[in-house]
Chains A and B, each alone.
Chain A
Amino acid sequence: MKLNDLTTHAGEWLRGSGPLSDIVISSRVRLARNVGGFPFLARCTRSQRQALETKIRGAIFAANVAPRLLYVDLEQAPDLDRQLLVERHLISKQHKDAEGARGVAIGENESVSIMANEEDHLRIQVMRSGLQLEEAWQEITGIDDRLESSLDFSFHPRFGYLTACPTNVGTGIRVSVMLHLPALKLTGEIEKVYRAARDMKLAVRGLYGEGTEATGDFYQISNQTTLGRAEEEIISEFRRQVIPKIIDFEQHARRALISEKTVALDDTVCRALGILRSARLLKSEETLFLLSHVRMGVNLGRVKDVDINKINELFLLTRPAHLQKILGKRMDGDIRRAARADFIRARLNGN
């Protein structure tokens, strides 16, 4: 598999399939692990960092974590490729911008990615479309076991898996569910989600994780506590309490929009679709919000002549690095905005 093979379609997590996929975009589980005997990355020398990267890369291939694994050396990879990986949620922004020996291993359908030398020596991630947290956990714990057969992970009887930041210590797990909540946003009730999350000690983040805004009405809910609670406990709480509650809020808001504000709802959806089908210059963020409204409209049956898969794909393919990779040239400013608008028009009017 080559990196360029990824650009033409949406990743596993944005397939728009899977349970409750009209609201739950994706389920993600990640584990933070460090290799015993090496300092954490902040204190690694150049050569230790290099040695770690080689060791981890070898272990990933030896463990056969996924078929047709692609390993990207991020120290060598061009800017645009690294940005592309961020847009696909395969690496963090921090990993893209870091310096020194580091990389990422990506499984064939992009559901598995393992970052080497991020904040921790290893950041293992499994992503699934829709609400599939248990499945993601089963897969990731198996990968963790296989990696452990050739790597010695730092572990402390009281503190569990040791991590560079004490906020990840213990299980080293972060469970995140990406939700599409346009109706709560439109009805001004999104505060409900923040309140519910706060009560349950969960974090609410934007599309690209830590420190990002909730663009395109996408919200990521994730756990913050990693010490003193078992992995299955956290996952089960998400599956049975947290996510159903938020889905319920959103469904309620959607029903209210349909029954009480039908014309306003249709106007929002059709206006968004009209802009996407006609505009000549489109900004990246604006596009996400327009697509968000159309996505909701299709899911609610308010527009019938648009393929939901096309909309799901456009969320990704219109991001800056994707657009430039697909069109095979570097662009910025109005040239890129024009190219984005052309690309979207061609896709949507081809229906």
Chain B
Amino acid sequence: MKCERCNKPATVHLTEIQAGKQIVKHLCEQCATQNDALVPKTHAPINELLTNFVLAHSGLQKEGTAVCEHCGITWSEFRQSGLLGCEHDYTAFDKELSPLMQRAHDNGTHHVGKTPLRRSTSGGAQDASARKQVDLARLRRELAKAVETEDYERAAKLRDQIKEAEGA
């Protein structure tokens, strides 16, 4: 196939929809680049394109613009003060906070330890499951430690406890 404008071989084949009508154009590379309307005007660097693509698909917004809808604090405001605005920020900034917290807590990512005995705002069932998760995390850590210290008797006991907790 030859270029519509000159007689060089056509290597660019464009399909445009204009006012509901399909227009097909066949151009050589030279004519295609000369024709502004046919080539994208911005030449965004590939990493920027990728970043935007990843951000758009991960539900994350650009650094600093993420905002908590409960207290109105933005991520960059938090970065300036070091203090969060409300309890919901941990969910709103989950993706941004996670790496920071991991660094601050010597790779700790999940709570291990005390849990509230009573919480009236959320259902009792939810509490029980939260406590179970925390217990499980603790048991798994203890198991890892027991294996590390070659305390196999204790490891076996812990393994049974974990199975029981998971099944409950």
Contact = CB atoms under 8 A, between A and B. Distances in A.
- A, B in one complex: yes
Interface of A: 34, 36-40, 42-43, 119, 141, 144-145, 148-149, 152-162, 164-167, 169-171, 173, 201, 224-233
B121 A229 contact: no
B87 A154 contact: yes
A148 B119 CA distance: 8
B106 A170 contact: no
Q: Which secondary structure dominates chain B's binding surface?
A: loop
B163 interface: no
Contacts of B113: 160, 170-171, 173, 229-233
Contacts of B162: none
A36 B87 CA distance: 7
Contact of A227 (B84, B109, B129): B109
Contacts, number: 130
A40 B87 contact: yes
Interface stretch (B14-22, B42-50, B97-105): B97-105
A148 B118 contact: yes
Interface string B128-153: 01100110001000000000000000
B124 to A, nearest CB: 13
Contacts of B119: 36, 152-153, 155
B117 A145 contact: yes
B115 interface: yes
B111 interface: yes
Interface in B52-100: 70-73, 81-87, 90, 97, 100
Given A157-B133, A166-B100, A229-B108, A141 B114 contact: yes
A160 B83 contact: no
Contacts of A224: 104, 106
Contact of A149 (B70, B112, B118, B138): B118
Contact of A39 (B71, B100, B107): B71
A88 B90 CA distance: 34
Given A166-B100, A170-B105, A226-B105, A160 B85 contact: no
Contacts of A159: 90, 101, 111
Please give me the 5 A-B residue pairs with the lowest Cβ-Cβ distance, nearest first.
A228-B108, A160-B111, A43-B85, A157-B130, A230-B113
B83 A164 contact: yes
Contacts of B116: 148, 152-153, 155
A80 B85 CA distance: 31
A228 B112 contact: yes
A154 B101 CA distance: 18
Given A171-B111, A225-B106, A231-B113, A157 B134 contact: yes
